[in-house]
Amino acid sequence: MQSYRYVLKLIAVCLLILPVTGCWDIKEVQDMNYVTAIGLDYEDGQYVVYTQMLDFTTVAKTDSGKSDKPAQVWVSKTKGKTINWAVDQVYNSSQRRTVWSHISSIVISDKVMKTAVLPKLDSIGRYQEVRMTPWVFGTSHSIEELFNTPAFFNMSPLFTILHEPIDQFNQRSVIAPIRYFDFLADLTEPGYTEMLPSLSIDTETWSTQKKRDPKMSINGGFCLYNEKLSGFLTVTDLDGLRWMQKETKRSPLLVTDGGIQAVVALSTPKIRTKLSFVQGEPKFRIHVKLHGNVVEVSQDISKTELEKSAANAVKEEILATFYKGIDTRSDVYSLEHLVFKQDPAAWKRLKQDSGTIINKQSLESVMVDVHLEHTGMKRLPRKD
């Protein structure tokens, strides 16, 4: 009887042990290399792949939220006849297992964008560890220098626009950041012009200890059409784009119409574009509605006058950006894509006839309405 009870107890213990998972082969965080960004370039007939790796112990916050020492960054540079072959060369000196699931940014050089982009991204999309959510940027700058550009306060590079551009965009919207999955989808849309934010390094704005402190910035946008580069526009050239993208959260506008000196902050544009055909050619009418608030006024002006002047300024920027795009053979507002969506047969006919659908005469009119909801802590000065 006692032996029978002993056997039952032994069976019960075995049954309890079986569900317990073993952890003898677990890898600790410090035992692996985590790639946080990947850059693609092309030189001397070979693809160049850059990777950025961080010491994740610097990401963990101290009591003050900042580290006493600069965050450590490692940047690799490898070459190969294909992107994947260049990536494989990283393993030659990686020392430990390299993990790609933490990539939060992909940077593509202008050299790579001069020919079809999608085939070059094939290996990145096929590898199961790489997610579809990294931010995508273009650049004409050295990718190695970009990956080595420090953040503020000795914080991790994860706190830069390379890895988290949304906070800066929400405060001052210029060119909407784009995720990898949206980037791939837009590239395959017929007649669509993809606007890819361009990363650069600002060496003039910031300093510390009386020394220049370089920081990353957005200096313009690359226009991609049919999967390859069609043109580049600076941030100033793209002033009108912010009013034509629904993602815009807040953007300041300098109003100088009629001698007025004022600054207003406008947000959440509502855009309506109407397409019509005149003698077989597409014509567009754009209507934009914006809400905002007064930031600064240097002279007496009524709310109605300021709204009208702001609307005129927005209209001028929209037109100027459109014409700048046409000069670089770029359809900045993707008006051709609207033709494809609304009348595919007409789009196909126009492509066969001329190849170029959008020109300076395509934009027939632009109407802008601005409504200033409040004026901050002060009222607008009275005007007799």
Integer Cα distance of 267 and 249 in angstroms? 5
What structural domains and CATH numbers belong to the chain?
28-235 (no CATH), 238-384 (3.30.300.210)
Q: What are phi and psi of 328, to 5 degrees?
A: -100, 15
Measured CA to CA, the distance from residue 150 to residue 155 in angstroms comes to 8
- DSSP code string of 220-279: EEEEEETTEEEEEEETTTTTTGGGG-TT---EEEEE-GGG--EEEEEEEEEEEEEEEEET
pLDDT tens digits, one per residue of 8-48: 777 776 666 666 555 555 566 667 899 999 999 999 999 99
pLDDT at 2 over 80: no
Give the pLDDT mean for 244-260: 90
pLDDT band at 314 (very low <50, low <70, confident <90, very high): very high
* Token reading at 13: 């213990």
Residue 230 has pLDDT above 70, yes or no: yes
Buried b (16+ CB within 10 A) or exposed e, 39-75: bbbbeeeebbbbbbbbeeebeeeeeeeebeeebebeb
- The whole-angstrom distance between residue 346's C-alpha and the CA centroid of its chain comes to 32
Instruction: Give the whole-angstrom CA distance, residue 229 versus residue 138.
Output: 10
* pLDDT above 90: percentage of residues in the chain: 72
Q: Residue 384: its pLDDT value, please? A: 45
Predicted pLDDT at 375 = 73
Residue 233 has, within 13 A of its CA and on its CB side, a CA count of: 31
pLDDT in tens, 339-367: 999 999 999 999 998 878 999 999 999 99
pLDDT digits (tens, 9 = 90+) for 105-152: 999 999 999 988 888 888 888 888 999 999 999 999 999 999 999 999
What integer is the mean pLDDT of 198-223?
96
Vertex 204 angle, CA 107 and 234, to 5°: 50
Two structure tokens written together for 194: 């993809």
Q: Is the pLDDT of residue 80 over 80?
A: yes
